[in-house]
Amino acid sequence: MKIYSLTCSRDEKLSETTSKLLEYFERCDITSKILVGESSIFEAYAKGIDSLEADREDIVILCHDDIEILSDPTVFTQVLQEKLSKEDTGFVGVAGTRRFAQTAIWWDKEEWTAGSHSGVVYHGNDIFEMQPTLFGNNGQVVVMDGVFLAAKVKTLRTIQMKKPTTFVGKWDFYDIFYTFQAHRKGLKNYTLPIQIRHESLGELAGRDSWHKNRESFISYFGKELPASIL
């Protein structure tokens, strides 16, 4: 079971954080590919999967380029391989929710207060000033945030990776679209005890294209919401 990673970047000149991420993957014996100048994150990931010489049982990481993985490399790969070795596992990640609200916002505040969310992400420009965002205990979830996702190739082959025609935004809501499809197919998504520092605070979730894709998602899947494994 080999592990690959796909990461989109807007700039051919990689940032220090992205370079360190690739170095980390190299220490983990993970084959990495940076996707630069793509028209859409949906199409980028779809083409990226096709470009890999990967078997159906191999693992593919889909992650942002502004993250630092703080977990020990041996622990990191072991956790991924153990959870994804189970036949009924869909996606794994670091943050998500056990009850996906009618709003189709995974971090829905009411659900957060109710204790429905799962995982932890550290935010900040460096490890000395980062602060943890504690969502809840790790475990099975309905959908997950796209800051870090991983799945087997065979899972990725069973879902629609390309952008739905009704989605306006080219970089928005792919994570919910991917992980919810896996959930609908009866696969189990999980947050894992992987430590990640994310430089972004997620401000782009407020842009118009994000809201339009959310509305399109609700139009298509709304009758299935809320969705819960609680």
pLDDT tens, residue by residue, 196-208: 999 976 655 567 8
Confidence band (pLDDT; 50, 70, 90) for 9?
confident
CB 49 within 8 Å of CB 178: no
pLDDT in tens, 48-80: 999 999 999 999 999 999 999 999 999 999 999
Domains of the chain with bracketed CATH = 3-228 (3.90.550.10)
* Cα distances (Å, whole numbers) of residue 54 to 24, 29, 66, 75: 20, 14, 25, 22
Q: Output the CA torsion sign for 12, 15, 17, 23.
A: positive
pTM, full prediction: 0.95
- Per DSSP, 169 falls in state -
Residue 53 has, within 13 A of its CA and on its CB side, a CA count of 1
What value does the CA radius of gyration of the chain take, rounded to a whole number of Å? 16
Percent of residues, the chain, with pLDDT higher than 70: 97
List the one residue out of 126, 117, 11 whose CA is nearest residue 68.
126
Distance CA 22, CA 218 (A): 36
Which are the contacts of 61, defined by CB distance < 8 A and separation ≥ 6? 3, 4, 5, 6, 25, 30, 80, 148, 149, 150
User: What is the separation of C-alpha 118 from the centre of its chain, rounded to a whole number of angstroms?
Assistant: 13
Judged against a pLDDT cut of 90, whether residue 11 lies above it is answered with: no
